[in-house]
Amino acid sequence: MSLQAAVDIALCRNPRTAAAWAAAQAAAAGAGAARGALLPQIDAQIGPNLNRSQSFRGTGFVDGNGQFIGGGASTTTATTTSVRLGLNWLILDGGARAGRIEAADANAQALSAQFDETTQAVVLEVVSAWNLLEANRAVEAANLANLDFARLSADLAAARKAAGVATSADRLQGETQAAQAELTLIQTRGNVASAAARLAVAMGLPPGTALSLGPLAPLGSVAVLARDAETLITQAETLRPDLRAARAQLESAEANVRVARSAGRPSLGFQASNTLSALDTDIDRNLTSAGITLSVPLFSGWTTRYQIAQARAQAAQQAATLEQARQSAGLAVWQANIAYENALASLSPARALVSSATESADLAQGRYRAGTGTFADLLNAQSALASARQQLVQAEFNTRTAQAELARAVGDMTRYQEAPQ
């Protein structure tokens, strides 16, 4: 499996990216809903109504013509059916709808940028876990080489002791060093298993998933990998998703100021309707109406003024938040670049240290085999070689990690995969 394949799996399976994508989709739908306010609103209503009326009279009475009207009761039942089609269209609203559309569009852009931010965080998590696993595997390989060297030295000491040209102390020290190397190797293999579980979880897989990773390309020279901090800071101004989100949130806040101002401006609307009603089965009325309404707000108890002030304050707050995010981004890029430069600076000495320590250990082992060197010199050289191998692994791990974190600070994780190796 390549690193890019691991990243692709993580982006598909990680729940954080799914949640961020759903939020971005919801914001995009909200922007579409805001545009719906520009169109006329048409509705239809239909429904029958059952009307029942009862009247009651007493024992009887004489009317004005001298006729006797007897007592009793009467009941009238009728069904009224009505159908109504109505249209409402807000023609002018002082810029409220336009402001809401701008705010909704800006909010959609902010949520889209936050999705990019989440995506890059997931990519960095996978890259960091990948590098940690590769580093632990490199440590395992180094410790395995140390164990082979220690066993060879222990066998050499035992052979010289059997030949009567070495002491029991040499043999015991050789066995001790070999046992220590074997114990270190066992501990390292535990670290490898733990790092593999961490990578699997970062990819959205069960921690016990068996992973077969492809090898990473070797790191290039310091001159090839170096970057200019000022250029990176300039690029981060455009590339970082959190800055894009903050700018979009500022645009949304500024649009809300325009929405608040519209509450104090006149509005113009058009309404039209047609109502058809029938009593039982006979049509008895067809009512059509149409009109234009101009609404002019005169006094709202200073509510509009305070809402405008509130919206302006929120816009000012968002502008300050954007500036704070911009400064933090610049500092993050600067610090990440320093860490990257320091990691790069350690590569050449670490490589030279392994080369010289390997040569020194081979020389010490040869001198001890020939009887011209002491076992203490051999142990010192062996320990120095083991330490040098550890330091080279750590230097390469630090460089790869710093490279990924610098790309994250700039806001473009593709830099990590595209950087010269």
Domain locations in the chain as residue ranges = 3-36+81-418
For residue 373, count other CB atoms closer than 10 A to its CB. Answer: 16
- Residues 178-191 have a mean pLDDT of 93
Judge whether 405 and 200 are in contact, CB under 8 Å.
Answer: no
Nearest to 280 by CA among 31, 64, 80: 80
- Residues 33-43 have a mean pLDDT of 92
Choose the weakest-confidence range: 36-50, 223-237, 257-271: 223-237
Residue 56 pLDDT: 62
Burial status of residue 345 (CB atoms within 10 A of its CB: 0-12, 13-18, 19 or more): middle
Nearest to 141 by CA among 386, 312, 408, 305: 386
Residue 3 pLDDT: 87
pLDDT tens-digit map of 262-319: 988 999 999 999 988 877 666 577 889 999 999 999 888 899 999 999 999 999 999 9
Average pLDDT of the residues of the chain? 87
Residue 189 pLDDT: 93
Partner residues linked to 277 by β-bridges: 82, 285
Choose the weakest-confidence range: 131-135, 150-154, 213-217, 351-355: 213-217
Structure tokens at 124: 């960095």
Residue of higher predicted confidence among 50 and 206: 206
Residue 72 pLDDT: 56
Residue 167 pLDDT: 82
Residue 226 pLDDT: 55
For residue 200, count other CB atoms closer than 10 A to its CB. Answer: 20
Residue 371 pLDDT: 83
Phi, psi of 52 (to 5 degrees): -130, 125
Residue 420 pLDDT: 41
**Alpha carbon of 338 to those of 321, 414, 421: distances in Å?**
26, 20, 19
Residue 223 pLDDT: 46
Residue of higher predicted confidence among 145 and 60: 145
- Residues 142-167 have a mean pLDDT of 88
Distance between CA atoms of residues 144 and 139, nearest Å: 8
CATH class in words for 3-36+81-418: mainly alpha
| CB crowding 111-136: b at 16 or more within 10 Å, else e | bbbbbbbbbbbbbbbbbbbbbbbbbb
Give the H or E element holding residue 70: strand 68-92
pLDDT tens-digit map of 314-335: 999 999 999 999 999 999 999 9
Residue 64 pLDDT: 58
Residue 266 pLDDT: 92
Residue reference for tokens 């046992």: 179
**Per-residue pLDDT band at 118 (split at 50, 70, 90):** very high
Distance between CA atoms of residues 270 and 292, nearest Å: 4
* N residues, the chain: 421
Beta-carbon contacts of 306 under 8 Å, excluding residues fewer than 6 positions away, are none
- Whole-structure pTM value: 0.78
Choose the weakest-confidence range: 67-81, 169-183, 194-208, 353-367: 67-81
**Per-residue pLDDT band at 357 (split at 50, 70, 90):** very high
Residue 225 pLDDT: 46
